[in-house]
Structure 1
Amino acid sequence: MRKSFILAIALLLSSSTFAQRAPEKIIDKSLITHRMQSFGKEVMSPEKLWKLGRVSAEGLTPDGTQLIYGVSNYNFDENKSEKNLFIVSVKGGTPIQFTSEAGGESLLHIEDNGDAIYSYKGQLWRKNIKGGNAKQLTDVEGGLENVKFSPDGKHILFSKSVLVNKNHSVDKYTDLSKSNVYIYDDLDYRHWDSFNDGRFNHPFVASYDQGKVVEAIDLLAEEPYYSPQAPFGGAEDFAWSPDGKSVLYVCKKKFGKDYAQSTNTDIYRYDLISKRTTNLTEGMNGYDTNPMYNADGRMLAWLSMKTDGYEADKNDIVLWDAAMDIKLNLTAHWDGTINSFAWSKDNRRIYFIAPVKGAVQLFEVEIPVNLKNRALPKIQQISEGQFDITGIVGETKEGLVVTSTTLTQATEVYLYHLKSKKLNPITKVNDEAYAQIAPTKVEGRFTKASDGQDLFSWVIYPPDFDPTKKYPTLLFCQGGPQSATTQSYSFRWNFQLMASQGYIVIAPNRRGMPGWGVKWNEDISKDWGGQSIRDYLSAIDDLAKEPYVDNERIGAVGASYGGYSVFMLAGVHEGRFKSFISHCGLFDMTSWYGTTEELFFANHDLGGPYWDKANEKTYTVFNPINHVDKWDTPILIFQGGKDYRVPIGQGLEAFQAARLKDIKSRLVYLPEENHWVLSGHNAQVWQREFFGWLKETL
């Protein structure tokens, strides 16, 4: 259930709002005071959060001296975002706006002559980075997605939707054009937030000449398979060989029940001359993704998981030398899991990023001189600090261009100097906004877990935190369940925003999170309601000993597995918490197994179906619905109507149970949202209800 974003209101920050609180709660007066003591700065608010620019690193010029990046800005009046491209030197400086069309542009590549090829509204455009007018190159019906050019520019690899199965009545019965019926004979009838209408994204190779796209070949030949992967795959699932004679694509060539229960994606090579397709990862049964050749094309690397059905398995870098036909797992001996990687320009090493001890950092692994001896290569961590490295854009003479965040700083692009080990900002999109916002302190904290293990948490304090006062405190429960709580920046579960409303926030790195070794990450599987829940209780109990924590005003909040954790805690907390908030949480594991779509996840993490007695503990002891008899605490429940990962019944069941037990409770139903909240206006409502509930109950 990997992969998770949002906001709301100035009223909550006004002194008149705080004045309505009970007089015995001293913290309310201190909140007014701390706003006035922030050296003239305002605290973070939901509106300010969504006014921040969202930065994306698009690519470097061929000489590595300039960066093209995107900035998306949200328009409250129109309830939509506008993205434009900018150019700036990698040494920093004043950026130049490169595009200004209404919509969103994404860079594809920059040619040696400075011409930038980018996509806009599904078509290809050309514009030189030195200026001039943009020229539309293509006018392909239905548009082009995930475009990658061949090295010589004479072919393109792209994806588009293909009707394979007539699952929708208007396709099956063309005379009934006003019908709206779906017909299925197998699973994978819905995924993430969409019902399967029989259309599948397929990779195509076509000849390309100055905007003319001809002789397009469907590499999946109208088979019912997805490439890029559904629902989140993109251009990273495609690659050209450096000689331009073949293409690679990632695909899980399974259908129906088999598709829903497997993570066995493979990397396929299609030869343009022979028109033959070869499976390069035959016999490798987990996720195989992100294929990437080195500069000379002699070696191919990709990310690989070993176990079929285990989506959060250890992610390794596998290297393949085509000439010697040798595959070597470069990171098998390393006790961690990898997010993404990039080749060095000299082909001698691979840089990668991975979670480690509450952050995401840069590493490098050396490429062995001789793969035949299968010597374990050296792996070295090359960055360290209270920040996340979220992506590697490219390599320059000085170092690596990367994207980075902290818990109090949204994504910007930086130059990481390999010699000085320092991050220098290239973009400063949100510096002016942050300069007006009162800072929140973030500290790491270790606690002894119930089994004696060291448990790390991030603790975020309100602006102008005063240890002589008492503060309401929130326990944040992470989703995943194998998602890391690091220095990432969220536009919904934003710790800076929560702390700025006067709450202390503690975010534990409980069992199941990567960054603390493979075993720590794996320990949560089939033990959802066990040690990880005890880790949460250990973390909040330890922090509650501090004199500045108001033990009468502690709440627990979370989404997805974090929402499940809230439902579980509601039945086992023994009076610790005074308020709960669960977003799209799993409430009844039996009905959830019967309605969720990625069954490989449920089969691995829960052990399998509810009718198998070997999994009884999952559906009894670790099932929140079986602890409702002990529910006695106010609870707010958010539920998305198009959430097919944790379907609507989960939230409705929990709300109905709470109301029938006469517990103060509220349901916030978002009919057009999925497992996340993507609409800006809906996000504002979400934040208003979130902080409004805390105001009522804490």
Structure 2
Amino acid sequence: MTFEDMMKMRRLGDIAVSPDGHWVLFGVTDVDLAKNTRTSHLWIVPTAGGDEKPLTASLAGESRGRFSPDGKQILFQSARDVGQQTWLAPFDTGTGTIGDAHKLTSISTEADGAIWSPDGQNILFVSSVYPDCKDDACNKQRDVERAQSKVKAQVFTHLLYRHWNAFTGDKRSHLFLVSVNSGVPRDLTPGDEHDVPPFSLGGPDGYAFSPDGKEIAFAENLDPVPAISTNSDIFTLRLDDPNAKPVKISTSPGGDHSPAYSPDGKYIAWRSQARAGYESDRFRLMLYDRATGQERELLPKLDRWVDEFTWAPDSKTIYFASGATGGERILQANVEGPAPGLNVISPGGEYGDIHLSPDGKYLFASKQTIRTPSEIYLLELGHVVSTADVTAAKAHRTLYEPIQFEAMFDTVAEKSLTHLNDELLQQLDLPEMETFSFQSNDRTLVQGFLIKPPAFDRNKKYPVKFLIHGGPQGAWGDSWSYRWNAELLAANGYVVVMINPRGSTGYGQAFVDGVNGDWGGKPYIDLMRGLDYAEQHYSFIDKTRECALGASYGGYMADWILGHTNRFKCIVSHDGMFNPESAYGTTEELWFNEWEFKGTPWTNRALYRKWSPMLAETNFKTPTLVVHSQLDYRLDVSEGYQLFTTLQRMNVPSKMLYFPDEGHWVLKPQNSQLWYKTVNDWVDQWTKQ
């Protein structure tokens, strides 16, 4: 596989299932490398099987398609006119085609995240507005004045003045309700100085309609200093009372996210974290009884994260995605009864964007593996495919221990509904990923993965790319990536080795917590022990030609490795933390640094310095490529500058790749092309001599 091959691949967007269960609507993004663009359009495929086909084709693109409750219209968002707005188009349920679309919203601050009310009469959407403005005319005038002003200076009076890759400014995200007939939006959170819903990099919506359409639930963080707080709460708001105020129903001091009403209206479920200030605490599945006001955790003994969930049509079952040992599986839990009951219903790979058919017999989800980008799969619930598969599925039980109640384990029949990249993938040599496990120094079991190069010859010796994941609460596994594609990194003659050290998700919360306050401790030992194991058990590895590469926390660990071992021929440090003390003062989500380093630099300076890669600078000898971007506000570009300056003054062979127009991730196609070329050339320079 080449970079150009990867850019030709169609990228699956989000999924929607038609109310009659006959169609799946989804987004597809195409990359034009020459034009340096990525454009999304809406596609459709029949659930009974057949060819997928595009529905829309405007130059501006379309995304987030949603069927109306009667299935006769499709809602989507597009910037085909002035700014991104919500559009409606008629849908023919028999032929799977759409008619001419018309623009529903014309709000000057643009519209995003639209969903239908259950009766199909209203749309709920999100727009960022000036909280003190009473109408859209005020917002529009304020934007025009700012655009025309010769002075671009800003005055900050509170923290979180910038976030991820943009300055937050004076606007805040609000929820709006608009009738499909009038098109005049109503601000449901007027004057609110907080974002509704809070900032998210993706995943489930932070708001939902009740089944009768008379109420919504949404997430909001009301803490006075959002830069140090993860405490979003769940609120409800009556829509049939113009004087109604939001009512808080969640009680956790940690984050509460992704509210969803049961179809019968009895419950509201959401994902919740117990500990304040910890963005990587276990995501629990909570149930709120709307009649009694009682809140309970559905699966208190499940020591894994609930990453997303969906209700079954009968309201008796919840299906959810949960990570374990490098995979993301779909599980099924009963809502009521003496014991929850738990089924693991999907095999290996990474599943997401889960939807049920209206009759509850089929489940639709995206699925990706290390060798295949995302496609839409249909899973036939209750249909076990073979005894061998059941045996294999039962083995999955150990992935979700400790579960102290009886559980059933089924593997259901599944098939791919879409085949967006089959023709291209069939032309490529994409090796299988192998997995191994080993004991770290404290006898903790740690998992690793290995990918051989194409045209592998066991009698040859190969150089190694040793990849270190970010987070630190993340994980390598059986999933596809366009930013750090392990198959592409192996393609030019390398063995790729990946370890999930302490801090990685999918191995229980204690394993996740193992990185807290110990950034260069147990995780570093796990990584080195894992590479030792690979060298000892895979004779084709040339341990004299290895390069360590990491981004974000992986970049931090690359910097830590730089000062604590000379075993590598080269290092690639992308968006890493070089100086924890300065990183604290230049980041935005302060809750992260204060949790991971157990305080601020002035309350716990010793820990910030204990795990500072900068303070081992006199040991730096390994040739290092530094990559950093100007718009990275999670780890400011100054961290990259400090590292590169130090390397240059220490006379260590080094190079810096700087992106003025990227954030924490390199996303633009030609920038990505330069990133892969620069990284691969650097590794080749030092390991293929």
Q: Same fold (TM over 0.5)?
A: yes
> 1:241-273 CA deviation, whole Å, 9 max, x = no partner?
111111122111234xx1110011011111123
* Match among 655, 666, 670 for residue 681 of structure 1: 670
* Match among 353, 371, 381 for residue 391 of structure 1: 353
Q: Is contact 1:558–1:583 with CA below 8 Å preserved after alignment?
A: yes
* Match among 74, 93, 104 for residue 50 of structure 2: 93
Structure 2 distance, partners of 1:219, 1:673, is 34
Q: Which runs of 5+ in 2 are unaligned?
A: 80-84, 134-141, 386-411
Tell me the CA shift for residue 153 of structure 1.
2.2
Tell me the CA shift for residue 171 of structure 1.
7.5
Q: Is contact 2:23–2:45 with CA below 8 Å preserved after alignment?
A: yes
> 1:548-578 CA deviation, whole Å, 9 max, x = no partner?
11111111101000000100011112x3111
Q: SS at the partner of 1:277? A: coil
Q: Do structure 1's residue 138 and structure 2's residue 114 form an aligned pair?
A: no
Structure 2 distance, partners of 1:317, 1:572, is 41
Q: SS at the partner of 1:213? A: coil
Which residue number in structure 2 is paired with residue 572 of structure 1? 564
Q: Are residues 277 and 485 of structure 1, via their aligned partners in 2, closer, same or farther at CA, if it must alter by over 3 Å?
A: farther
Q: Is contact 1:191–1:231 with CA below 8 Å preserved after alignment?
A: no
Which residue number in structure 1 is paired with residue 15 of structure 2? 58
Which residue number in structure 2 is paired with residue 277 of structure 1? 245
Name whichever of 426-435 and 484-493 sits farther off. 484-493
Which residue number in structure 2 is paired with residue 412 of structure 1? 375
Tell me the CA shift for residue 223 of structure 1.
2.3
Structure 2 distance, partners of 1:282, 1:516, is 27
> 1:72-129 CA deviation, whole Å, 9 max, x = no partner?
1111222112222222122332123211222222212244253322222213121314
One-letter amino acid matched to 2:10: G
Tell me the CA shift for residue 480 of structure 1.
0.3
Which residue number in structure 2 is paired with residue 103 of structure 1? 60
Q: Do structure 1's residue 455 and structure 2's residue 422 form an aligned pair?
A: no
Q: Is contact 1:330–1:376 with CA below 8 Å preserved after alignment?
A: no
One-letter amino acid matched to 1:128: F
Q: Do structure 1's residue 642 and structure 2's residue 631 form an aligned pair?
A: yes
* Match among 135, 152, 160 for residue 119 of structure 2: 152
Tell me the CA shift for residue 496 of structure 1.
0.5
Q: SS at the partner of 2:525? A: helix
Which residue number in structure 1 is paired with residue 82 of structure 2? none
Q: Is contact 1:57–1:393 with CA below 8 Å preserved after alignment?
A: no
Q: Is contact 1:333–1:376 with CA below 8 Å preserved after alignment?
A: no
Which residue number in structure 2 is paired with residue 204 of structure 1? 176
Q: Is contact 1:57–1:413 with CA below 8 Å preserved after alignment?
A: no
Which residue number in structure 2 is paired with residue 27 of structure 1? none
Which residue number in structure 1 is paired with residue 578 of structure 2? 587
Structure 2 distance, partners of 1:511, 1:629, is 27
Q: SS at the partner of 2:573? A: strand
Tell me the CA shift for residue 175 of structure 1.
12
Q: Is contact 1:476–1:556 with CA below 8 Å preserved after alignment?
A: yes
Q: SS at the partner of 2:610? A: coil
One-letter amino acid matched to 2:271: L
Tell me the CA shift for residue 460 of structure 1.
0.8
Q: Is contact 1:165–1:198 with CA below 8 Å preserved after alignment?
A: no
Q: SS at the partner of 2:586? A: coil
Which residue number in structure 2 is paired with residue 213 of structure 1? 183
Q: Which runs of 5+ in 1 are unaligned?
A: 1-43, 370-374
Q: Is contact 1:558–1:565 with CA below 8 Å preserved after alignment?
A: yes
Name whichever of 147-156 and 318-327 sits farther off. 147-156
Q: Is contact 1:355–1:486 with CA below 8 Å preserved after alignment?
A: no
Structure 1 distance, partners of 2:58, 2:356, is 27
Q: Is contact 1:228–1:234 with CA below 8 Å preserved after alignment?
A: no
* Match among 294, 299, 317 for residue 349 of structure 1: 317
One-letter amino acid matched to 1:308: A
Structure 2 distance, partners of 1:45, 1:194, is 32
Tell me the CA shift for residue 306 of structure 1.
0.9
Structure 2 distance, partners of 1:82, 1:196, is 26
Which residue number in structure 2 is paired with residue 473 of structure 1? 464
Q: SS at the partner of 2:183? A: strand
TM, length-normalised to structure 1? 0.88
Matches within 5 A, 1:418-457: 418=381, 419=383, 420=385, 421-457=412-448
Matches within 5 A, 1:28-67: 44-67=1-24
* Match among 75, 88, 92 for residue 117 of structure 1: 75
Structure 1 distance, partners of 2:496, 2:258, is 36
Q: Are residues 431 and 314 of structure 1, via their aligned partners in 2, closer, same or farther at CA, if it must alter by over 3 Å?
A: same
* Match among 537, 544, 550 for residue 552 of structure 1: 544
> 1:227-250 CA deviation, whole Å, 9 max, x = no partner?
122253687112111111111221
Structure 2 distance, partners of 1:596, 1:141, is 32
Q: Are residues 579 and 233 of structure 1, via their aligned partners in 2, closer, same or farther at CA, if it must alter by over 3 Å?
A: closer
* Match among 471, 483, 490 for residue 492 of structure 1: 483
Tell me the CA shift for residue 219 of structure 1.
2.5
Quick one: higher RCO (CA 8 Å, sep 6+), 1 or 2? 1
* Match among 145, 148, 162 for residue 129 of structure 2: 162
Which residue number in structure 2 is paired with residue 616 of structure 1? 606
Name whichever of 439-448 and 521-530 sits farther off. 439-448
One-letter amino acid matched to 2:541: V
Q: SS at the partner of 1:455? A: strand
* Match among 173, 177, 190 for residue 149 of structure 2: 177
Structure 2 distance, partners of 1:404, 1:113, is 25
Q: Is contact 2:19–2:71 with CA below 8 Å preserved after alignment?
A: no
Tell me the CA shift for residue 329 of structure 1.
0.3
* Match among 643, 649, 660 for residue 671 of structure 1: 660
Tell me the CA shift for residue 353 of structure 1.
0.6
> 1:506-556 CA deviation, whole Å, 9 max, x = no partner?
111111111111111111111111000110000111111232111111111
One-letter amino acid matched to 2:43: F
One-letter amino acid matched to 2:563: G
Structure 2 distance, partners of 1:390, 1:63, is 22
Q: Is contact 2:55–2:98 with CA below 8 Å preserved after alignment?
A: no
> 1:139-164 CA deviation, whole Å, 9 max, x = no partner?
51323221122212222221112124
Q: Is contact 1:441–1:462 with CA below 8 Å preserved after alignment?
A: no
Q: Is contact 1:558–1:581 with CA below 8 Å preserved after alignment?
A: yes
> 1:473-531 CA deviation, whole Å, 9 max, x = no partner?
11111100111222121102000001111111111111111111111111111111100
Structure 2 distance, partners of 1:173, 1:98, is 39
Q: Is contact 1:411–1:489 with CA below 8 Å preserved after alignment?
A: yes
Q: Is contact 2:257–2:272 with CA below 8 Å preserved after alignment?
A: yes
One-letter amino acid matched to 2:115: K
* Match among 55, 61, 70 for residue 27 of structure 2: 70
Structure 2 distance, partners of 1:154, 1:472, is 61
Which residue number in structure 2 is paired with residue 309 of structure 1? 277
Q: Do structure 1's residue 596 and structure 2's residue 587 form an aligned pair?
A: yes
Tell me the CA shift for residue 286 of structure 1.
1.1
Q: SS at the partner of 2:303? A: coil
Which residue number in structure 2 is paired with residue 521 of structure 1? 512
Structure 2 distance, partners of 1:94, 1:383, is 24
One-letter amino acid matched to 1:191: H
Tell me the CA shift for residue 172 of structure 1.
12
* Match among 295, 300, 306 for residue 338 of structure 1: 306
Q: Do structure 1's residue 536 and structure 2's residue 527 form an aligned pair?
A: yes
Tell me the CA shift for residue 174 of structure 1.
7.1
User: How many pairs align?
Assistant: 640
Which residue number in structure 2 is paired with residue 505 of structure 1? 496
Structure 2 distance, partners of 1:681, 1:289, is 35
Q: Are residues 139 and 230 of structure 1, via their aligned partners in 2, closer, same or farther at CA, if it must alter by over 3 Å?
A: closer
Structure 1 distance, partners of 2:556, 2:101, is 51
Which residue number in structure 2 is paired with residue 33 of structure 1? none
Tell me the CA shift for residue 292 of structure 1.
0.6
Structure 2 distance, partners of 1:228, 1:174, is 25
